[in-house]
Amino acid sequence: MKYLIYLSLLCFISCASTPYVTVKVSRFNPKKYVMNEEKRYFAWINKMGINPIEFESITSKFNKQLRSHGFYEVENPDDATYFFSFNAFMDSGKTEIYSKPIIGQTGVSSTQTYGKITGNSYSATTYANPSYGVVGTTVNSETIYTRTLEFSIERKGLQEKEAIYFARAISKGSINDLGRLIPYLLNSIFENMNENVGNYDYEIAD
């Protein structure tokens, strides 16, 4: 039993040290459109609420992620087949208070006695196997941020652009670096694009 609890604690510590992000996505793709033309795109990214340095980093990550999905950017809108619009933002955070159990030794689960006879004498040693469990609780607080990415696609038409896709990815967590999470928010949008909703978990790279 003590080994099982030790392994559980070890897993808890190692899992807690690995940051991850959960993303919920809602999509609207009315015609279940399949993008099979040449994937040239021109993108508009909303700069609102993003400082210039962070905006440059986010733009770079947007373009890198899109290239991994077979798209390539053009500088002239007239050369684009698709028009992408991005709007990324994060709130100021909300403080949440929660309790966390404290695991410790609660007593002795069993004892084992080993004896030895030497000549006319006898000696014995007793070993106690400790038991573990919840010995208390500690109160913690954490600031939770809501990170949102809105993404729409328009396709070039003969007369005007045609809206073919819209998605909103929302993630909540303690990381307040929007630029660090952009690749995961964007990737979640491109996973199973014809599904109306999706939930995705990503392990965050250093």
3-state SS, the chain, equals CHHHHHHHHHHHHHHHCCCEEEEEEEEECCCCCCCCCCCEEEEEECCCCCCHHHHHHHHHHHHHHHHHCCCEECCCHHHCCEEEEEEEEECCCEEEEEEEEEEEEEEEEEEEEEEEEECCEEEEEEEEEEEEEEEEEEEEEEEEEEEEEEEEEEECCCCCCEEEEEEEEEEEECCCCHHHHHHHHHHHHHCCCCCCEEEEEEECCC
pLDDT in tens, 112-159: 888 787 877 888 888 888 888 888 888 888 899 999 989 888 888 767
The listed range with the strongest mean pLDDT (12-16, 60-64, 109-113, 146-150) is 146-150
Mean pLDDT, rounded, for 2-10? 40
Contact 25, 168 (CB under 8 A): yes
Q: Is residue 2 over pLDDT 60?
A: no
Q: What's residue 132's pLDDT?
A: 87
pLDDT in tens, 164-186: 888 999 999 988 888 788 888 88
- Global pTM reads 0.64
Q: What's residue 206's pLDDT?
A: 56
Task: Determine what percent of the chain is predicted with pLDDT higher than 90.
Answer: 7
Domain boundaries in the chain?
A: 20-92+145-195, 98-138
Q: Which two tokens stand for residue 135?
A: 């010995």
Q: What is the CATH number of domain 20-92+145-195?
A: 3.30.160.670
